[in-house]
């Protein structure tokens, strides 16, 4: 019989950049296109900045950027307001729904990692900055490739709000009937997603090479010189650790070793340390 990892009870994952969509590409380009349709030019790097927030909040945050805000004022003769966020969000949504399927491929090792966790009696939760309409497209495509968590919380469906608050992580805990926040691990590739897990009192594992903080496709990453790839990885790790990550990994393919380490620390009486 496969050994258990008690007292560990659950692992809660982000989606894009963590379980699927290497490089977190699906949302990034759509933000550029949505702003462009209003005559506002933003870079991919700017679009990545607030990644992990709910998409409405992401757009709102982008509009606070000094350069983007100045473009809006020049084009429309006024400061952007919530109605403008609503308009951009309405433009963003159909574009995202149309494109998310193109980026639904699992990250290498993700399906095997989920199977490994379940073999050891752990529950698998998940949450996302994606709204429910986008997840409704993504989830069946991911499930067909072995990515099917026990519970999914969308970025727009909790009245309390999304990241960096703890609410989506805690909603998973309630739905999965987890008895202790310290028995949960949050795995995420974004700063707000790690802050979410920290604010929920969970163990946090940051993901570098497959995620938003590096932001490269598999091919782009392979084409980088070792030194450049290493620098990007170190920068991503530093940001995720500063946000509250207790461990940092390249991708979910290597998560099992970290899970075993956390389980041993829990069994020894440790709680997630403050970061």
**Residue 202, helix vs strand vs coil:** coil
54 within domain boundaries: yes
- What distance in Å separates the CA atoms of residue 144 and residue 147, rounded to the nearest whole number? 7
Q: Are residues 75 and 134 in the same domain?
A: no
For 183-211, the pLDDT digits (tens) are 999 999 999 999 999 999 999 999 999 99
Q: Is 87 exposed, middle or buried (0-12, 13-18, 19+ CB in 10 A)?
A: middle
pLDDT digits (tens, 9 = 90+) for 215-269: 999 999 999 999 999 999 999 999 999 999 999 999 999 999 999 999 999 999 9
Are 107 and 97 found together in one domain?
no
Which member of 55, 156, 186, 188 is catalytic?
A: 55
Q: Indicate whether 2 belongs to any domain.
A: no
Domain assignment present for 5: no
Mean pLDDT of all residues in 76-98 = 95
Q: What SS3 state is found at 36? A: helix
Q: What is the pTM of this model?
A: 0.93
- Give tens-digit pLDDT for 174-184: 999 999 999 99
Residues 224 and 159 in one domain: yes
| Active site (annotated) includes residue 14 | yes
- Kindly list the distances between the CA atom of residue 72 and the CA atoms of 55, 56, 93, in Å, as whole numbers in the listed order: 19, 17, 20
Query: Could you give the number of structural domains in the chain?
Result: 2
Q: What phi, psi does 204 have (nearest 5°)?
A: -125, 130
Tokens at 202, concatenated: 């969970």
Q: Does the active-site annotation cover 150?
A: no
Q: What is the pLDDT of residues 116-135, one digit of tens each?
A: 999 999 999 999 999 999 99
Q: How would residue 4 be classed by pLDDT, with cut points 50, 70 and 90?
A: low
Q: Is the pLDDT of residue 166 over 90?
A: yes
The rounded percent of the chain whose pLDDT value lies above 70 is: 99
Q: Is the pLDDT of residue 26 over 90?
A: no
Within a domain: residue 4? Answer: no
How much is the CA Rg of the chain, to the nearest whole Å?
18
CATH code, domain with 49: 1.10.150.240
Q: Is residue 273 part of a domain?
A: no
Whether residue 256 is found in the same domain as residue 145: yes
Token pair in block for residue 114: 């989920």
- The domain boundary residue, chosen from 73, 101, 129: 101
Predicted confidence at residue 3, as pLDDT, reads 59
Pick the last residue of a domain from 101, 121, 147: 101
Residue 84 and residue 207 in one domain: no
Assess whether 130 and 119 both reside in one domain: yes
Whether the pLDDT of residue 2 is over 70: the answer is: no
Residues 198 and 84 in one domain: no
Q: What is the mean pLDDT of residues 73-96?
A: 96
Residue 1: predicted pLDDT: 36
In angstroms, rounded to a whole number, what is the distance separating the alpha carbons of residues 196 and 40?
A: 30
Residues 74, 140: one domain? no
Task: Show the domain range for 46.
Answer: 27-101
Place of tokens 């950049």: 17
**Which residues share a beta bridge with 123?**
10
């Amino acid at each position: 019989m496969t050994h258990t990892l008690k007292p560990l009870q659950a692992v809660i994952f982000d989606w894009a950049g963590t379980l699927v969509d290497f490089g977190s590409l699906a949302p990034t380009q759509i933000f550029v296109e949505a702003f462009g349709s209003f005559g506002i030019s933003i870079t991919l790097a700017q679009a990545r900045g607030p990644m992990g927030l709910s998409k409405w909040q992401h757009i709102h945050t982008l509009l606070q950027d000094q350069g983007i805000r100045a473009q809006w004022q020049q084009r429309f003769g006024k400061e952007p307001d919530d109605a403008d966020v609503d308009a951009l969000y309405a433009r963003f949504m159909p574009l995202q729904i149309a494109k998310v399927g193109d980026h639904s491929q699992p990250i290498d090792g993700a399906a095997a990692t989920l199977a490994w966790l379940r073999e050891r009696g752990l529950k698998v939760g998940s949450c996302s900055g994606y709204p429910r309409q986008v997840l409704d497209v993504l989830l069946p495509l991911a499930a067909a490739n072995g990515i099917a968590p026990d519970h999914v919380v969308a970025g727009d469906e909790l009245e309390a709000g999304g990241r960096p608050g703890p609410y989506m992580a805690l909603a998973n805990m309630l739905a999965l009937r987890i008895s202790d926040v310290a028995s949960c691990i949050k795995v995420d590739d974004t700063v707000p997603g790690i802050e979410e897990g920290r604010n929920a009192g969970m163990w946090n594992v940051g993901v570098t090479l497959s995620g938003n903080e590096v932001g490269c496709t598999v091919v782009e990453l392979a084409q980088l010189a070792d030194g450049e790839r290493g620098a990007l990885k170190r920068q991503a790790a530093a940001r995720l650790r500063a946000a509250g990550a207790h461990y940092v990994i390249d991708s979910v393919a290597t998560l099992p070793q970290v899970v075993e380490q956390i389980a041993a620390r829990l069994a020894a009486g440790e709680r997630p340390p403050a970061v």
